[in-house]
Amino acid sequence: MNREKSFIKKLSTYLVFAGPATFAFITVIILPFLFGIYLTFTDWNGISSTHSFIGFKNYLSVFQDKTFFNSFLLTIKYVFFTVILTNIVAFLLAFILTSGVKGQNLFRSGFFTPNLIGGVLLGYIWQFIFSNVLVYIGNNFNLPIFSSSWLSNPDKAFWAMVIVGVWQYSGYMMIIYISGLMNVPKDIIEAASIDGAGGFRRLINVTLPMMVPSFTVCIFLSLQRTFMVYDVNLALTKGGPFKSTELISMTVYNKAFLSQDYGVGQAQAFFLFLIVATITLVQVYFSKKMEVEA
């Protein structure tokens, strides 16, 4: 009796506070997602009016697909470098910016500008820079590293994507780090410097532990974004040369819409979701643990 009452009370509290958000969230994301999973068990091509149930066949072909596997490994490599570099750059920028440099606003706005434009166009702009501007500079100033286009060499094209990724995301992460750094209480830092802690020690012993929540958010976000990157990949390299820079989203997209194999594409997307979910959850779990300890 009591239990029921408390349940109803809880339910109504929940509905009042979290009801609208939860409802919108479930109807916009979760339902379509589950429906999508259902489609992975069919042979639907994305358009015909009929489809039939084919069980796990789509998943089997995911595991047999060498292209998918290669693209997955490449994506892991891309994510690894981009996430680490993005967060290092973003944190350094935020740290220097909040340490009392003049013209803070200007710098902050400047570093953030890449986020003002959609990914496809950013990709086109950089494609132009890598294959025209840098080559021009390389040839005229005798810099052999730029004398041929980075985008025509598989290794260099990979690094071109990492550079654009870092350039694009670091400003965004910087904003979150700045907001975190501003939240570190001034008196604690002052107390630490009165105790005689130098700048570097203050950073390591006082500031960084207080920043763990920001790191959690930023690493999570950069993981998620880099795993899912599609538009920049498309506009910058189109997966080329010869598919050597085709990241996983593009592989999935091509499977579904180019090879017109919607079921397999959706199965790949779901498989990808499982992997990324595991990786990010492990990350969030460990960061949260650090948070508690700090």
Partner 1 sequence: MKNKKLILNIIKTLALSIVLILYIIPFVLVLINSFKTRVQIVSNPLKLPESYSLSNYLEAFTKMNYSHAFVNSLIITVFSVIFIVVFSSMTAHLLVRKKWVFNKIIFFVFVLSMIIPFQGIMIPLVSIYGSIGMLNSKWSLIYMYIGFGVSLAVFMYHGFIKSIPVELEEAAMIDGCGLMQTFWKIVFPLLMPTTMTIMILDVLWIWNDFLLPSLILIEPTQRTLPLSTYYFYGTYTVNYGLAMAGLIITILPVILFYLFTQKHIINGVLQGSIK
Partner 2 sequence: MKGFKRLSLIMAFVLMIGVLAGCGSKNTASTSEQELASGNKQSDSSSASDTNKVIEITMLNSKGEIQAQLEEAAKAFTEENPNIKLDIVVAEAGQSPFEKISVMYAAGNAPALAMLDPVDIPNLADKFLDLSNEKWIADAANNSLDNVTLDGKVMAFPFAVEGAGFIYNKAILDQAGVDPTAIKTTKDLEDAFNKVKAAGFEALAISPMDWSLAGHFLPISYATQSSNFADVNKFLNNLKAGSVDLKANKPFNGLMDTFDMMKQYNMYKNDPLAATYESNQQAMGSGEVGFWFMGNWTWPQIYEFAQVNEGFGFMPVPISNNPDDYGNTGIPVGVTKYIGIDKVNNSEEQQAAAKQFLEWLVYSEKGQDMIVNKANIIPAFNNITLEPQDPLAKSIKEYMASGKTIQFMTTMPADHWAEVGASMQKYLSDMIDRNTLIEEIETYWKNAK
Residues that bind partner 2 (CB under 8 A): 3-4, 6-7, 26, 30-31, 34-35, 38, 45-51, 120, 131-132, 135, 148-149, 151-153, 231, 234-235, 240-243, 254, 256-262
Q: Are 115 and 171 in contact (CB under 8 A)?
A: yes
Q: Is 131 in the site for partner 1 (CB under 8 A)?
A: no
Q: Is 129 in the site for partner 1 (CB under 8 A)?
A: yes
Q: Can you list the alpha helix ranges (DSSP code H) found in the chain?
A: 2-25, 31-39, 57-64, 66-97, 104-112, 119-128, 134-140, 154-182, 186-194, 199-202, 208-210, 212-228, 231-236, 248-253, 262-293
Q: Tell me which of partner 2, partner 1, none is bound by residue 205, counting a contact when its beta carbon lies within the kind-specific cut-off of 5 to 8 angstroms.
A: none
Q: How near is the Cβ of 67 to partner 2 at its closest, in Å?
A: 8
Q: Are 245 and 239 in contact (CB under 8 A)?
A: yes
Respond yes or no on whether the N-terminal peptide bond of residue 144 is cis (omega within 30° of 0). no
Q: Which is nearer to partner 1, 103 or 154 (CB)?
A: 103
Q: Is 281 in the site for partner 1 (CB under 8 A)?
A: yes
Q: Is 259 in the site for partner 1 (CB under 8 A)?
A: no
Q: Which is nearer to partner 1, 33 or 241 (CB)?
A: 33
The 3-class secondary structure across 220-264, one letter per residue, is HHHHHHHHHCCHHHHHHCCCCCCCCCCCHHHHHHHHHHHCCCHHH
Q: How near is the Cβ of 43 to partner 2 at its closest, in Å?
A: 11
Q: Tell me which of partner 2, partner 1, none is bound by residue 272, counting a contact when its beta carbon lies within the kind-specific cut-off of 5 to 8 angstroms.
A: partner 1
Q: Tell me which of partner 2, partner 1, none is bound by residue 55, counting a contact when its beta carbon lies within the kind-specific cut-off of 5 to 8 angstroms.
A: none
Q: Is 159 in the site for partner 1 (CB under 8 A)?
A: no
Q: Is 122 in the site for partner 1 (CB under 8 A)?
A: yes
Q: Which is nearer to partner 1, 16 or 145 (CB)?
A: 16
Structure token pair of residue 208: 């960084």
Sign (positive/negative) of CA torsion 47, 49, 55, 57?
negative
